[in-house]
Amino acid sequence: MRINWKTYDPGKFYDEIISAQGVPRPAARQLANYLKSLTHAELTEKKLAAELAIKTMGISFAVYSDAGNIDREWPFDIIPRVITAKEWEHTSKGLQQRLRALNCFINDIYNDQKVFKDKIIPKELILNSTNFRKQCLGIKPRYGVWAHVCGTDLIRDRDGLFYVLEDNLRVPSGVSYMLENRRVTKRVFPELFENYNISPVQNYPDQLFDTLAAISPRTSEYPEVVVLTPGIYNSAYFEHSFLAQRMGAELVEGGDLVVEKDKVFMRTIDGLAQVDVIYRRIDDLFLDPTVFNKDSILGVPGLFKSWVKGNVALANAPGAGVADDKVIYTYVPKLVKYYLGEDPILPNVTSFLCTDKTECQHVLQNLDKLVVKPANESGGYGMLMGPQSTKKEREEFARKIKADPRNYMAQPLISLSTVPILGDRGVEPRHVDLRPFVLQADKSYVTAGGLTRVAMVKGSYIVNSSQGGGSKDTWIVGDE
Amino acid sequence: MLSRVAERVYWQARYLERIENTARLLDVFSTLLMDLPKGTKLGWHSLVHITGTHEIFDATGRQPIERNVMKFLLPEDNGISIINMLAAARENARTTREIMPTEAFEQINELYFYAKENLAQGVSRGPRHQLFEEIITSCQQITGLMAGTMSHNDAYSFVRLGRDLERADMTTRIVDVGSSNLLVSSQSSTQADEPLTNILWMNILRSMSAYQMYRQHVKDRVNAEDVVIFLLQNDEFPRSLAHCISQLSSVVDELPNHSKSLAQIAKTYRAIKHANIEKLLGDGLFQFIDDLQIEIGAIHKAIADSWFLQK
């Protein structure tokens, strides 16, 4: 295996590294030339070095179906994806704008509900959302911010532009892999970091800590910030522990916390210690068995009331997920205009609503061409990939959509851009998306790049790690 | 520090120490083989007994011959083999990564992968010594790494508690090797010859890297009484029982809510120091070692009651 860019063919898709056959994009030129200069033995060695680093660093994720093997090594491809700093600057502005608007929207639906009165969005749509929490009505978190941490999935279409595919406002994960991917790449390609002007990513945990500290109800100099995890069997446990470690925060499970007099405490070797801010990585419904799911053993009885009383801050706030419903998604460009009076910087992917009669008709007639998504699933589950579907699957989805139009939306099959991966016979194109992470409290922040997820199977669009996706380091490269 | 995390850190340290000590114990046994005259056999079953796993071994119905015992204690998936202990240590380290130095987890992880690959080879005698040496050195490295890179805070206190208590436990077990009827002579006498017994004690000292320190301290040839006194009552040698227990006391002293544990540790320490080893040796030491094991169990209980999450 040696890399020959002349035989690398991404077809009709936008490729992130080359612009035409054998011609690298300007920002990726050094990378492409460097890779080409490596011998078969050198490439193999780099690949093995990355695998070994991942193994010894213990970078892992869990797959539920793998009985007996609760953590698996992280699938990683060594060739980085390159994005120019100029393009990223524009994209970050768009991401911050979008999250600002979404937070205004969430705050509005739980308080004044102007957005219904002004007929921007139908009220029933929200009240029927499975992520709407009526218990949150009338609550005003500090700065009016409900979603403090957002993972926005971006895709690049054939026109080379970024589009927002979805907003993840509940418990988005992946940021630790973004950081670890960089650490691995530094071990594998130290030479490249000398010549490239690559934006560092490792300040994310500090930014996250500052965001969390900013919402502490007590104005102490050192607020007690904790990360609440469902436990060691959760698929994102590695990330929970990673973030706690990097922030110097305690990693707690539900059983470590107790509520007394509407204040939250953790059980330490020195008795109970009060907690100020909880970065929770547990779903809303499992947070507090006295308010939500009664059978939850992951949560903490009384936690919700402590939050309502303002004695503890929760990030993200319960109920924030109402805005990452895939049906609500279609309204986001309008919401940006409505709340901020600005034109949206980042476009949405064209979407069809099944609640709209004509659009629903269109969806039902074109099931073989569209991607149908349920409103509230994550991880790529419960979707219909039209062009690859069987007749039986399409019939099943038609039934589901007719039965519950509110729960479905559809999008044309967008063309995800490609990036080369190092396969057994040299470089081969694979489809990617990008998940940057956006923080908001008193200030807002966007990661330099984000997590590039790769569909490792040829031609596939499924990038989710739970379904065999891999990942890559993402470089934001400045001018020389 | 969270109670749950304290418990995991404590167990991680206990497992690591137990792995190191099991490797040491098995290494003595294997070295001993080479020193024994033809016709003298080692009682492999006592090895299973010493590690406290005889009930599980006996349940498998296998003959307690070298190969079976080594398989059982090294690579087998039976919940108590070295590979299983390493998996447990790694799991505890993995689930306390937020407070441990990153390199410590990485080293434990590496040792795990090394063991997974190589433990099966330890069943045969050839590569065995090198395998144990590697495991012992890695464990020592991890201990050193934590001592040198981890703040000596509460979390580190629990590392030390786990380590010293486990070390104390294993020291009593290893002393038990010497006093038990380990060497079975092919001659009719059940008791092995005195020179053989001395070889045994010398190897026991070596297994704890104690031979040199013993010679410096005792200035007499190796004999049962002095060795047992050295390994149980010496306050300076880091693997001697008295030293381990007094270390516990200084660690516990720094922790909150320590009165119950301190009292238990003091009681155990007195029992060790006041023992008349010469007299006890005459009776074969069994009862005394049993009593010490109960004391060590009581210290663990005091620690768990004071600081761990109550189930």
pLDDT in tens, A82-92: 999 999 999 99
- For tokens 């240590």, what's the residue? B89
**Closest residue on chain B to A54 (Cα):** B106
Mean pLDDT confidence for A27-56: 92
Token pair for A393: 């699957």
* pLDDT band, residue B29 (cuts 50/70/90): confident
Q: Among B94, B98, B141, which would you mutate to test the A interface (most chain A Cβ atoms within 10 Å of its Cβ)?
A: B98
Q: Would you list the domain boundaries of chain A?
A: 1-199+324-349+423-480, 218-311, 352-412
Residue in B1, B94, B113 nearest the CB of A55: B113
B94 and chain A: CB distance < 8 Å anywhere?
yes
Indicate yes or no: CB of B105 within 8 angstroms of CB of A58.
yes
User: Could you tell me the end-to-end alpha-carbon distance of chain A, in angstroms, rounded to an integer?
Assistant: 31
d(CA A10, CA A16): 10
Cis bond before residue A316 (omega within 30° of 0) = yes
Distance of CA A172 to the CA centre of its chain: 5
Residue in B98, B110, B306 nearest the CB of A244: B98
Indicate the DSSP class of residue A348: B
Q: Which residues does chain B have within 8 Å of residue A232's beta carbon, measured at their own beta carbons? A: 91, 94-95
Average pLDDT of chain B to the nearest whole number: 89
Determine phi and psi for A433, rounding to 5 degrees: -125, -170
Number of structural domains found in chain B: 1
pLDDT given for residue A66 in this prediction: 47
Indicate yes or no: CB of B109 within 8 angstroms of CB of A245.
no
A295 and chain B: CB distance < 8 Å anywhere?
no
Sign for the pseudo-dihedral over CA of A444, A447, A452, A453: negative
Chain A: closest CA distance from residue B174 (Å): 33
Token pair for A467: 């379904």
Residue A35 has pLDDT above 90, yes or no: yes
Indicate yes or no: CB of B309 within 8 angstroms of CB of A256.
yes
* pLDDT band, residue B136 (cuts 50/70/90): very high
Nearest one of A113, A178, A104 to A143, comparing CA atoms: A104
- For tokens 């404590």, what's the residue? B10
Indicate yes or no: CB of B94 within 8 angstroms of CB of A56.
no
Residue-wise pLDDT tens digits, B236-253:
999 999 999 999 999 999
Mean pLDDT confidence for B62-83: 91
- Spell out the residues 6+ positions from residue A50 whose beta carbon is closer than 8 angstroms to its own: A76, A78, A184, A185, A187, A188
Which range has the worst mean pLDDT, A213-227, A402-416, A424-438, B40-54?
A: B40-54
3-state secondary structure of A440: strand
Residue B311 included in any domain: no
Indicate yes or no: CB of B2 within 8 angstroms of CB of A267.
yes
Q: Which residues does chain A have within 8 Å of residue B102's beta carbon, measured at their own beta carbons? A: 57, 245
d(CA B170, CA B204): 12
Alpha-helical (H) ranges within A111-174 are 114-117, 123-127
Q: Is domain A218-311 in CATH 3.40.50.11290, yes or no?
A: yes
Residue-wise pLDDT tens digits, B143-198:
999 999 999 999 999 999 999 999 999 999 888 877 765 655 444 444 556 677 78
Residue-wise pLDDT tens digits, A407-451:
889 999 888 999 999 988 889 999 999 999 999 999 999 999 999
Does residue B60 contact residue B71 with C-beta atoms inside 8 Å?
Answer: no
B6 and chain A: CB distance < 8 Å anywhere?
yes
Which range has the worst mean pLDDT, A186-190, A211-215, A335-339, B40-44?
A: B40-44
Residue in A56, A244, A255 nearest the CB of B106: A56
Residue in B6, B105, B113 nearest the CB of A269: B6
Asked if domains A218-311 and A352-412 share a fold, the reply is no
Indicate yes or no: CB of A249 within 8 angstroms of CB of B98.
yes
pLDDT given for residue B189 in this prediction: 46
Residue in A245, A267, A268 nearest the CB of B97: A245
Residue A227's DSSP bridge partners are A251, A279
Beta strands in A26-113 (DSSP E): 60-61, 72-73, 76-84
Radius of gyration for chain B, computed over Cα atoms and rounded to the nearest angstrom? 19
Token pair for B253: 């002293």
- What kind and span of H or E run contains A410? strand A408-412
Which range has the worst mean pLDDT, A320-324, A391-395, B199-203?
A: B199-203
Residue-wise pLDDT tens digits, A178-188:
999 999 999 99
Token pair for A179: 């950081």
Residue A136's DSSP bridge partners are none
- Helix B259-273 vs helix B286-307: crossing angle, to nearest 10: 170
Average pLDDT of chain A to the nearest whole number: 91
* pLDDT band, residue B286 (cuts 50/70/90): confident
Range of the domain at B29: 3-306
**Closest residue on chain B to A268 (Cα):** B2
A37 and chain B: CB distance < 8 Å anywhere?
no
State percent of chain B over pLDDT 70: 95
Residue-wise pLDDT tens digits, A380-419:
678 888 888 999 999 999 999 999 888 889 999 888 999 9
d(CA B242, CA B247): 9
d(CA B16, CA B144): 13
Q: Is domain A352-412 in CATH 2.60.40.10, yes or no?
A: no
3-state secondary structure of A198: strand
Strands A426-435 and A437-440: unpaired
pLDDT given for residue B35 in this prediction: 77
Residue B54 included in any domain: yes
Residue B78 has pLDDT above 60, yes or no: yes
Q: Which residues does chain A have within 8 Å of residue B3's beta carbon, measured at their own beta carbons? A: 256, 267-269
Is the ipTM above a cut-off of 0.85? Answer: no
Position B162, amino acid: G
Token pair for B145: 């790494």
Residue B42 included in any domain: yes
d(CA B64, CA B79): 18
Mean pLDDT confidence for A139-144: 96
A195 and chain B: CB distance < 8 Å anywhere?
no
Q: Which residues does chain A have within 8 Å of residue B113's beta carbon, measured at their own beta carbons? A: 55-56
Token pair for A250: 């305690």
pLDDT given for residue B188 in this prediction: 42
